[in-house]
Each structure stands twice: as C-alpha cells, then as structure tokens.
Amino acid sequence: MVQTQSEIAALLDYDRRHVWHPYTSPTHPLPVYPVAAAHGVYVRLMDGRELIDGMASWWCVIHGYNHPRLNAALREQADKMAHVMFGGLTHDPAIKRARSLINSTPHKLQKVFFCDSGSVAVEVAMKMALQYQTALSRGRAKHFLTIRGGYHGDTLGAMSVCDPVTGMHQLFSGALPIQFFARRPGALDKGWREDDIADFQAQLEAHHHEIAAVIMEPVVQGAGGMYFYAPEFLRRVRVLCDKYGILLILDEIATGFGRTGRMFACEHAGIAPDIMCLGKAVTGGYMSFAATLTTERVGEVIGRREGVFMHGPTFMANPLACAVANASLELLAEMDIGVDVGRISEGLRRGLEPCRELPAVAEVRALGAIGVVEMKTPVDVAVIQQVFVERGVWIRPFGRLIYIMPPYIITNTELDFLTRQMVEVIKNL
C-alpha cells in the first residue's frame, strides 16, 4: 500500500523529533528515507520508488531481502519457540549452528560463544584474551595491539581498538582503556614490502609483556576506511604472536561469509586466528546475531582451576537467529563463492573503471564483492544521497569514500546499473 504524502510527512516528522539514527545529531539530523518493504536487491520507499541496494544494509543482506528460504526458516522456528534462556538450557538450532560454524571456519576453532551483535562479539573476544592471560599468570598482559585504520564496534572496549584518529577516541578520551597502535601495512595493490611489518614488530618486541592479544580485521579494513592490505602481513603477525605467546583475534564481522571472495578473509593468508569474531552477514541480514569462536586451548586455559568465562547475554543463542543463520549458511554452501563473488568482483572492476579518469577521484579499488571509489575530498552525504535516490540506487558514502557491497544475488544488469549511476554521479560532483 502506498501511503499519502501527508501520512509520510507525519511519520518523518515524528522520526526526526524522537528517533535517533546512527552517528547522527540529536538536534540536526540528516534526512532519512522511509522504507515500506524490500525484496531481492530492491528497497521500496513508501512513496513507491524502488532502489537497488548497493550496501546490502551494511554488509549483512548477502542473499537479498525477503528470501523465501530464510523467511521459512524464521517462521518454522517461531512456531516452535522464539526464545528460551541459554543458562541451563540448550536447543537444536544452537547446536546445529555451532556445528556448521565450526565446520566452515579454520579447523583450529572448536568452541563457539553466541552473542547479540558484532561489538559484543569483540568485547567477548577481548575478555576471552584477558581471562586467558590471567589464567596463565601473565598479569601485566592487559592491553591490546592493533593497526591504525581499524574499526571494531561502538562499545567502550571495541572503541578502544578503533583507529585513534578517525575513530571516536577524542570524544571519549580518559574513558577508554589505552591500547597500542602500529602503522598499518601498505595498500594491497602496492604489493608486499618487508618494511610493512617493521613498526608492528617493534611495538610487539617493546610491549609484549603488556599485550594480551593482537586484534585486527583481516585483509579489509571496513568502516575505518575501506582499505585493503596484503595477506602476507597476517602471516607475519601470526608468527610474531606465536613467538610471544600473544593471542591473535581476527575480526571477520565485515569480511566473513564470502564478502572478500573467500568464505573468510583469513583464508587469503592461509592462517587461523586463536579467536574469531563473526557478525553482520551471519543471519543473512535478518537479525542481530554474532559469534566468537576460539580454540580448545583457549577454552582449556580459561577453564583451569574451575575458572568460568564471565559473559552471558540475555538473548544468547536466540533460536530464531540461529535458525535463520543456519538457513543462510545452507544458501552459502550451495554457492561457489569463488565463482559467484568473482563475477561481482569483475562487474565492479569493469563498472567503476571510468572513475579512474575523473579529476575528483583519488583511487578506485575492488576486492571480492566490495567496490570503492575514494575521493580527494569528503562528500556531502545528504546531497549525494538524494542524487543517488533520484537515480534509483541506495548508496551511503562516508567521508571521502563512495563504496558498494551489494547482495550476492545481484544480476549483472543490476550491477551494471548500480556502477553506472556511481560513475555518473561522481562525474557531476
């Protein structure tokens, strides 16, 4: 049903006065567009316009909206039970979910902690690392080492390992734990240089007694700048972590489930972390759900002397989320990620190529189903977003970055349309 102009205006007015949106001023919010429904790669606005979604709703909706099999999984589970507490109880969707995650992630990861969002999965990972080091009597190991340019979430612990400049450190200075930051490696297309690991190695050598774990996003740094770096860096990090008995946490919340052209981005480097965080696409974008996986060894150490792991969210292993996550993983298993994501990768490369020539563009890059146009100066989000909407696409830039990571089901024709609109809009900036 298409709503009248005045009904829509009333809704938007209430939204503007009472509802907070992500990273938005409480008093002068940017405009928002009201959505009525979504199907496949299309988001339908209340005024009836349909937009091709270039964002997969922030990396999540990998199989498209309103997917019949995901809907069915959710409905079937709702008829059995929507939720039960996980303290003292367990259920088939959670066990099935654990088994399929353990079977699809690196072999080393054998234990799963289910939680409710990516940021919480990062908090859980950090707490695991701290409890592990405490159990080993490495009492000073209370800090984390990461590389600059990262993004790990918005809760306090996760924020402390986000990039100290582009992140939110300044606003919360004094309230965040102090962490160690190393220079990030050079860009992927520049190839590997030995010097890329130097600063990281120096920091680890100098501070290893104080470091519980290294945390990073493998190969692709997402919200911190849509930056790609060489997998060789991860191999070196793995070796250094082992040398000093420091855990390696890989945050695959954005990169996991095929986005980079491999099921998990750590596969590009052929290494496995000690702790892996998953989120975003885990339910195919249906609901907030996340998981932190770790090794037998980490579990065994934390469990020594009757130790317990001190975390337990109310909605831990929510059956609805587990059921839809299982269905999403089944759909992924039916795909050939290399081929299917490779097709999108090619479309992105081909489609965005004309941007290279444009004077306002600093760089164009693509990896897996991620296409990025980096501008020389920041874009005006409100203005450019309106232009995109008028052209029938949903793209939400930030800073100097105009990027897309569409659902995997996007057809070549739709992808072509999407990239063409990007080129046209950037040309006219």
Ligand X SMILES: *Cc1c(COP(=O)(O)O)cnc(C)c1O
Convert residues 272-291 into a mask of x (bound to ligand X by CB under 6 A) and - (unbound): -------xx-----------
Among 109, 253, 321, 352, binds ligand X (CB under 6 A): 253
Q: State yes or no: is 154 an active-site residue.
A: no
The answer to the question of residue 157 lying near ligand X (CB under 6 A) is no
Task: Pick between residue 251 and residue 374 the one whose CB is nearest to ligand X.
Answer: 251
Q: Is 170 left (phi over 0), alpha (psi -120 to 50) or beta?
A: alpha
- Contact set for ligand X, span 406-425 (CB under 6 A): none
Judged by beta carbon, residue 351 or residue 406, the one nearer ligand X is 406
Question: Catalytic site residue 132?
Answer: no
**Least distance in Å: CB of 282 to ligand X?**
10
* Least distance in angstroms from the C-beta of 217 to ligand X: 5
Report the DSSP beta bridge partners of residue 38.
Answer: 43
- Measured in degrees and rounded to the nearest 5, phi and psi for residue 208 equal -60, -25
Residue selected from 53, 163, 217, 414 as contacting ligand X according to rule CB under 6 A: 217
> Nearest approach, Cβ of 235 to ligand X (angstroms)?
20
Alpha helix stretches (DSSP H) within 185-317: 198-207, 232-244, 296-302
Pick 153 or 185: Cβ nearer ligand X:
153
Residue closer to ligand X by CB (options 369, 425) is 369
3-state secondary structure of 226: coil
Is residue 130 part of the contact set for ligand X (CB under 6 A)?
Answer: no
Shortest distance in whole angstroms from residue 222 CB to ligand X: 4
Is 148 in contact with 229 (CB distance < 8 Å)? no
Minimum separation from the CB atom of position 101 to ligand X (A): 17
Among 123, 163, 196, 251, binds ligand X (CB under 6 A): 251
- Residue 231 is a binding residue for ligand X (CB under 6 A): no
Instruction: Kindly list the strands in the beta sheet with 50-53, ordered across the sheet, starting from the edge strand earlier in the chain.
Output: 35-39, 42-45, 50-53, 393-394
Q: Is 225 in the site for ligand X (CB under 6 A)?
A: no
* DSSP three-state, residue 52: strand
Strand, coil or helix: 213: strand
Closest residue to ligand X: CB criterion: 118
- 280 catalytic? Reply is yes
Is the C-alpha dihedral spanning 375, 379, 383, 385 positive or negative? Answer: positive
And the tokens for 212?
């519980």
Residue 167 found at the interface with ligand X (CB under 6 A): no
Which residue type does 206 have?
Answer: A
Which is nearer to ligand X, 249 or 364 (by Cβ)?
249
What is the per-residue burial (b if ≥16 Cβ within 10 Å, else e) of 220-250?
A: bbbbbbbbbbbbbbbbbbbebbeeeebbbbb
Virtual CA dihedral for 414, 219, 152, 365, nearest 10 degrees? Answer: -40
Residue 403 in contact with residue 373, Cβ under 8 Å?
yes
* 251 tagged catalytic: yes
| Residue ranges in 90-129 that form contacts with ligand X under rule CB under 6 A | 117-119, 122
| Choices 29-37, 88-96, 145-153, 386-394 (CB under 6 A): range interacting with ligand X | 145-153
65 phi and psi angles, rounded to 5 deg: -85, 155
Catalytic residue among 42, 151, 229, 403: 151
- Interface residues with ligand X (CB under 6 A) are 117-119, 122, 151-153, 217, 222-223, 251, 253-254, 279-280
Annotated catalytic residues are 23, 151, 251, 280
